[in-house]
A = this chain, B = another copy of it.
Amino acid sequence: MTRVLLTGFEPFGGETTNPSYDAVVLVPGVNVAQLPCTFSGALTALREAVDLHDPELVLCTGQAGGRTAISVEKVAINLIEARIPDNEGRRPYGVPVVEGGPDAYLSTLPVKAMARAVREEGIPAEVSYTAGTFVCNQVAYGLAHLIATERPGLRGGFVHVPYAPHQVTESGRPSMETTTVARALAALVKAADSVEAELAEGTVQ
């Protein structure tokens, strides 16, 4: 059986929970790690978790407030522009994730087949072409760079998840139950791991 690592983030931006971490701990049969929501610590924590669990597949997840669907990210860019402070109060702007790294990485996971697998479970899902410019994108880029430069055998990518209902009781923003997110993540893991998914990807929508 494939060794899988799922990461989620600690709460940030004034929230007391983060649906990404709350969901990954509900997925059976995987290793999990919580990443700090800091530009200084997130990638170090990711690397430590990868070293510890030696996974074959890594899916990092994060909260994307305002989105309605599970978003499988296709693009990670070499740019940090923090519009709010991270959990250490830092707000870097206009700096690269990795000095001298390529401008972006396109995910090599079968993202379209993965999103389709989630929809087949009756859960809204899409491929997204921007992971933003905050810590989520930093982790998405850092993971892709780790794979490209040091761990060619590792497969990995980034997934954004909506708010949990309890975070948006008054705001009118869309949400998704954490148990639903966990089911979606299980479907993503299975699809990412499937030869059929790879074959179905290609140029098929």
Q: Which residues of A contact B (CB under 8 A)?
A: 68-69, 74-75, 77-79, 81, 83, 92-95, 102-106, 112, 118-119, 122-126, 129-130, 132-133, 165-166, 168-177, 180, 201-205
Residues of chain B lying within 8 A (CB to CB) of residue A132: 129
Q: Is the CB of B92 within 8 A of A78?
A: no
Considering the chains assembled together, what is the distance between the CA atoms of A106 and B93 in angstroms?
15
CB distance from A102 to the nearest CB of B (A): 6
Greatest chain B CB density within 10 A among A112, A119, A169 is at: A169
Question: Shortest beta-carbon distance, A153 to chain B, in Å?
Answer: 20
Contact, CB under 8 Å: A205 / B169: no
Complex alpha-carbon distance, A173 and B169, angstroms: 18
* Chain B residues whose C-beta falls within 8 Å of the C-beta of A74 in the assembled complex: 77, 79
Q: List 23 contacting pairs A-B, 8 Å CB cutoff, sorted by A.
A: A68-B174, A69-B172, A74-B77, A74-B79, A75-B103, A75-B104, A77-B104, A77-B129, A79-B106, A92-B203, A94-B112, A94-B203, A102-B102, A102-B103, A103-B106, A104-B104, A118-B169, A123-B165, A124-B165, A124-B168, A124-B171, A124-B172, A124-B175
